[in-house]
Structure 1
């Protein structure tokens, strides 16, 4: 698959996810014409579907579609049952979707069965189970170009015209249901149809609703008011200063840690001998210490110690 086409399909499935709630793995309802077309063009069922929807898929086959496939097969004379066609994958790859349209669970028309699963309610058309429809145009008989054209239609021609009409009816009815992606095979290419008009209208309404919801909500301006606060208090508040650019520094993990120095022992203080009388008591004045001032101070002290001479 080309990159441009795959990007387009991815965007389309994303729109289905946002608007209608599609999720992986996508449930794909396949019909009998789709299985015949994939077998004719030698496509692998699950990988081809995953490339188309750009995600994981879970293909399903209804009981009514299986009954329509087996009704067109020849009957085995030994078992008196129809042969299993080669284009029908095994149940491990294509599980059966049990659908009960009546009390005895007898199969009904394939197109009616698929449409009833896509939109169970006839009043409100809605794809509740998020199914994807996979269909294809019926395979026509190979005609000889040298053969002259007939003026009348044979029984095979009428069957082919009826099959083409039913295939177009299925796709037209599925487009009228909002939120139904349609995959079809045409000329050995698996194509994902763009959104139908009902789906596009719902998608536009959904986007418009989100836009209106965004306009209706008032953005919070400033702090939320508390009980008893006035508008004047908020107006008096000074605006916060903007912080400057953060100063860049070295990485703290790469910086070498500084060594801790041993703390010096603090000097011991003498206990106070005088108790303070109340809080108004004056602090005790510091006592001045007398230091040794040299030898001449010793001489003066000795002279003062001798008795003084008495004058005659």
Structure 2
């Protein structure tokens, strides 16, 4: 057995131990096809099953399976050594009175919930498919000449998840405590709301009294958000902004200029002379 396969088988066995209370010694029900395959390979069935499961094993064989093997042995349809291997195992009495086929007998032993925690070793494909629909049924079979332990089916995984959810739910005693805690929390919340309302009403009454007594309200300043911001003028742009106003002078007449300037008049008189 390879290391990887051995680790996987240990995980599957631990899954059934932790979730469905499987305990040593593990009880394994054998099918006629499985015994015949072991006789073909010349394997020691008990030793191989102990290595596979990793613990002590009790092998069980139902009288219905043994009866079928006997009939096949009489008709020489069995592999040599199959009946001798079947005789070495313990046979438990069937609970049913009527004669049934081996598959029907194994299904009756397992039931709907596998309360006795049986492993089932079989080579019948149809039987394996029906057993996979029942939760907590570990299956053993030969695949490519190797004894393998089937991983947990979807039904068993779903049941495991349901069990975990049930464990997380509160018990009856815890439920009563939770109800009391919720009730107290509601009462406290209501009390806080009532106190807040009272404080609001008191503030309103106080404001009314102020108005009646004639207490003036303080003048509030303008809302800074509604006011326009002052525009700052930069120092560089200041001289360009302020422009000088120049006055236009009217041109004076020649007559007025002569009369006004005495020096110019004297010059003219000197020239005449």
Q: What's the TM-score, normalizing by structure 1?
A: 0.51
Deviations 1:234-262 (A, max 9, x none): xxxxxxxxxxxxxxxxxxxxxxxxxxxxx
Structure 1 spans left out of the alignment, 5+ residues: 77-81, 120-124, 137-166, 218-312
Q: For 1:70, what is the secondary structure of its paired residue?
A: helix
Deviations 1:13-49 (A, max 9, x none): 1110111111011110001000011111122101111
Tell me how many residue pairs correspond in the alignment.
174
Q: For 2:141, what is the secondary structure of its paired residue?
A: strand
Does the Cα contact within 8 Å between 1:16 and 1:179 map onto a contact in 2? yes
185, 196, 200: which one pairs with 2:157? 200
Partner of 2:115: 128
Offset at residue 93 of structure 1 (A)? 4.0
Offset at residue 100 of structure 1 (A)? 3.3
Partner of 1:33: 33
Partner of 1:182: 139
Deviations 1:258-309 (A, max 9, x none): xxxxxxxxxxxxxxxxxxxxxxxxxxxxxxxxxxxxxxxxxxxxxxxxxxxx
Q: How does 1:257-296 map to 2 (within 5 A)?
A: none
Structure 2 spans left out of the alignment, 5+ residues: 175-273
Is residue 2:19 matched to residue 1:19?
Answer: yes
Does the Cα contact within 8 Å between 1:6 and 1:54 map onto a contact in 2? no
Deviations 1:198-235 (A, max 9, x none): 10101122233334559x97xxxxxxxxxxxxxxxxxx
Does the Cα contact within 8 Å between 2:60 and 2:91 map onto a contact in 1? yes
Q: For 2:42, what is the secondary structure of its paired residue?
A: coil
Partner of 1:269: none
Q: Write the distance in 2 (CA, Å) between the matches of 1:29 and 1:61.
A: 6
Q: Write the distance in 2 (CA, Å) between the matches of 1:67 and 1:95.
A: 14
Does the Cα contact within 8 Å between 1:27 and 1:58 map onto a contact in 2? yes
Q: How does 1:3-152 map to 2 (within 5 A)?
A: 3-74=3-74, 86-89=81-84, 93-102=88-97, 107-119=99-111, 125-136=112-123
Q: 1:83 to 1:16 in 2, by over 3 A?
A: closer
Q: Write the distance in 2 (CA, Å) between the matches of 1:19 and 1:67.
A: 35
Q: How does 1:294-309 map to 2 (within 5 A)?
A: none
Q: For 1:126, what is the secondary structure of its paired residue?
A: coil
Deviations 1:50-87 (A, max 9, x none): 111111111111000001111112369xxxxx999522
Deviations 1:76-124 (A, max 9, x none): 9xxxxx999522345784111210312xxx53111100000011xxxxx
Q: Write the distance in 1 (CA, Å) between the matches of 2:79 and 2:5.
A: 36
Q: 1:84 to 1:67 in 2, by over 3 A?
A: farther
Deviations 1:170-214 (A, max 9, x none): 111111111100000122200111111110101122233334559
Q: Write the distance in 2 (CA, Å) between the matches of 1:83 and 1:200.
A: 38
Q: 1:91 to 1:38 in 2, by over 3 A?
A: closer
Q: How does 1:201-240 map to 2 (within 5 A)?
A: 201-212=158-169
Q: For the aligned residues, what is the CA RMSD? A: 2.7
Answer with 1 or 2: which has the greater Rg.
2
More helix by share: 2
Q: What's the TM-score, normalizing by structure 2?
A: 0.58
Q: For 2:82, what is the secondary structure of its paired residue?
A: coil
